[in-house]
Amino acid sequence: MKIAAIICRTLLGLIFLVFGLNLYLHFLKMPPPQGQAGAFMGALFTSGYIYVVAAFQVVGGALLLIGRFVPIGLTLLGPVIVNILCFHAFLEPSGLPLAIVVAILFLVVFAYHRQSFAGVWKA
């Protein structure tokens, strides 16, 4: 389980670091979404809110890659992953398979570090 968690942590960290930095540096060319997904992304960009989300992605991804403070990185990335899943489930279904892979990677790393979150589950 330890090796699987390290592999998943590294992949998850790389994904979020690269795609988070891409929102600032624009080194990956991605076609703009159409329809409601395009309107949603347009609102995120015009309001500047996307840069806050990108900051969470970069910091969370970097923490996972470094391997220190992994529970904090998971805490930062958890809501982002939920929003990515919802975006692809409701607005842009073509990206749903990758979103599910990211969620599975997250769950593997979360399961390995579950003792860090034990206090959250106590009444």
The percent of residues in the chain predicted with pLDDT above 70, rounded, is 100
- Report pTM: 0.94
**56-101 pLDDT tens trace:** 999 999 999 999 999 999 999 999 999 999 999 999 999 999 999 9
Nearest Cα to Cα of residue 35 among 85, 84, 80, 87: 87
